[in-house]
Amino acid sequence: MAGADLSVSGASAAGRLGFLRQFLRNPRQLGSITPSSRFLTRAVVEQIDFERARRIVELGPGTGVFTRELLRRLSADGALLALDTNRDFVARLASTLPDPRLSAVHASAEHVAEHVAAREWESADVIVSGIPYTLLPRAVTADIVRACWRALAPGGLFVGYQYSPYLRPFLLGQFGNCRLKLVLRNLPPAVVFASRSGLVVDSTRRRLAE
């Protein structure tokens, strides 16, 4: 496990600079002034069973901190669809990560089910979300969570992160279950949310500190 810890890296210097520039231009789109740490990246990706997950969607990939780690762990026959409303981030992903398994698309997360269908996927196995939901209207957050539920396969995983427990009731209302993990070694500290379609058990009491 120690080796796995070292294999996960955070944003590069260029990535951090690009992230800061985008934050200054569009602070409401990002929700944080710095990219996610390697500890948060690890806490998110370790929720995923990469031996089974073949079709993964990333919402709000930003400069690609999570995208890189998802591609590193994804099987050779897997595919990763990244949706972002920021055109600069989409262009950056396409130019810096020329991986045939990756498709970076300028689109809203509310339409994730339509984009999954457009790729002729029956459904997605995993959806990873980095969207700053606290900056969105509640109705939009509810629409995105509902769209993710529609796009996932039975037993599929939604895993996201925020800097507050704000997302929990939305996930409980749609998925009927939500597991939380607190990641203290991130600036600011973050909460990782994990919900599975087809489950109804609320396991939010299982909180672990990173």
Token pair belonging to 205: 């009491």
- With 60 as the cut, is the pLDDT of residue 82 above it? yes
Q: What distance in Å separates the CA atoms of residue 92 and residue 145, rounded to the nearest whole number?
A: 26
Beta bridge partners of 179: 194
CA distance 136 to 59: 14
- How many domains does the chain fold into? 1
CATH assignment at residue 39: 3.40.50.150
Q: What average pLDDT score do residues 162-187 get?
A: 94
Convert the pLDDT of each residue in 117-136 to its tens digit. 999 999 999 999 999 999 99
DSSP state of 133: G
Report, as an integer, the average pLDDT of 98-115: 97
Domain of 191, in residue numbers: 2-209
Q: Which residue has the tokens 């370790």?
A: 46
